Amino acid sequence: MFEESKNSPGSVKVPWYGYAALLFAILFFSGLLTKQQGPITALDFNTINGTFGTMKDTAKATFQGQGGIGARDGFLFALTLFPAVMLALGVVEIVDHLGGLKAGQKLLTPVLKPLLGIPGIAGLALVSSLQSTDAGASMTRMLKESGTITEREKTIFAAFQFSAGGTITNFLSTGAALFAMCTVPIALPLALIFILKFFGANLMRIYLGKVDKEGI
């Protein structure tokens, strides 16, 4: 059995507004409200992110201009991403501040063992790894060095983190460049990423169990 620590599921205190914040975040980034009308659209990322103004021909002449190529075009294009990234990380910071990420950890902990074969105490490292690849990696190492997880569990956990590392932060910041072109609600590719992260980790689990029996 694992010792109770301040990160164990039983001792994580999540206020009610933590869950509310998590629910809000899911709704805000899901794109489900993009096509709605009226005040409710204030809860939608794409609506709040808004649009740039246009110059003359509203169909094609944005501030980025038309027909640009090379480094100059890339620079202007990258600038168009800044508002989306700043908005997304601003909202994530509020959700974190209100305990939304702790709520995520609490909800995730009971499913870690069946889904990944790693103990629930890795929950905080898992949630952290979704925000920062480096934080997840260093916390994983600490879990191993303190003897909380085994070499085998560490390897499976690393396989989970390695595919789409820093998932939430990278998807919401870097991925924002492609959101405007995305033909489906952005929650769908994000959900698929999560499912395949678990799938990949379980492939590693199978590999270690069947192919690499002698190893660890």
Partner 1 sequence: MTQRTLADVFVDGARKGWNVGVNSILPNVLMAYVLIQILRVTGLLTIMGNVFGPVMAVFGLPGQAIAVLIGAWLSMGGGVGVAASLFASKVLTATHATILLPAIFLMGSQVQYMGRLLGTAGVQSRYYPVMFGICILNACIAMIIMRFFA
Q: Which residues of this protein are in contact with partner 1, per CB under 8 A?
A: 68-71, 73-75, 77-79, 81-82, 85-94, 97, 133-134, 136-138, 140-141, 144, 151, 154-155, 157-159, 161-165, 167, 169-171, 173-175, 177-178, 181-184, 188-190, 192-193, 196-197, 199-200, 203-204, 207, 215-216
The minimum distance between CB 75 and partner 1, in angstroms, equals: 6
The minimum distance between CB 193 and partner 1, in angstroms, equals: 5
The minimum distance between CB 32 and partner 1, in angstroms, equals: 15
**Beta-carbon count within 10 A of 154 CB:** 19
| 99/120 with CB nearer partner 1 | 99
| 100/120 with CB nearer partner 1 | 100
Give the torsion sign (CA, 26, 130, 165, 169): positive
What is the C-alpha separation between 179 and 4, in angstroms, rounded?
A: 42
| 32/144 with CB nearer partner 1 | 144
Determine the 3-state secondary structure of 54 from DSSP: strand
**138 near 128, Cβ under 8 Å?**
no
The minimum distance between CB 212 and partner 1, in angstroms, equals: 8
What is the C-alpha separation between 95 and 23, in angstroms, rounded?
A: 10
**208 near 216, Cβ under 8 Å?**
yes
| 115/178 with CB nearer partner 1 | 178
- Please compute, for residue 143, the number of CA atoms within 13 A of its CA located in the half-sphere on the CB side: 29
